[in-house]
Amino acid sequence: MREIAEESEFEAVKSTETKKKEDEKGNIENSIRDHLKGFARMIPSFLMACGDDNTTLETFDSIIPDNVFQDITSISLEEFRFLMDGGDYEEFHRRG
């Protein structure tokens, strides 16, 4: 009987912790999606303000000063490139 109670307690804790981790992951994913949507709306403005005939979507981030980008978007160009290109989230935050 004691083993069943211990096993039930373990499963309850495991289930709760799994749910917390899934919620945290969902919050991170939603935050990233929200940032990317915001950037999609801002890119044309950046292109009009800073771009020229040779600027492309692949190169626009190289012509925008980091401080201007950060003032407008609240993140650095390095963080933007990470979001756009993907990468190891844990590694990125260990470096930062």
pLDDT in tens, 16-29: 999 999 999 888 88
Residues 6+ apart with CB under 8 A from 64: 46, 50, 77
50 and 59 Cβ atoms separated by less than 8 Å: no
- Look up tokens 């979001």; give the residue: 83
Answer yes or no: is pLDDT of 9 > 80. yes
Tokens of 74: 């609240």
Structural domain containing residue 60 = 2-95
39 and 80 Cβ atoms separated by less than 8 Å: yes
User: Percentage of the chain with pLDDT > 90?
Assistant: 6
69 and 49 Cβ atoms separated by less than 8 Å: no
Q: What is the pLDDT of residues 56-74, one digit of tens each?
A: 878 888 888 889 888 887 8
pTM: 0.50
Tokens of 82: 């990470």
Number of domains in the chain: 1
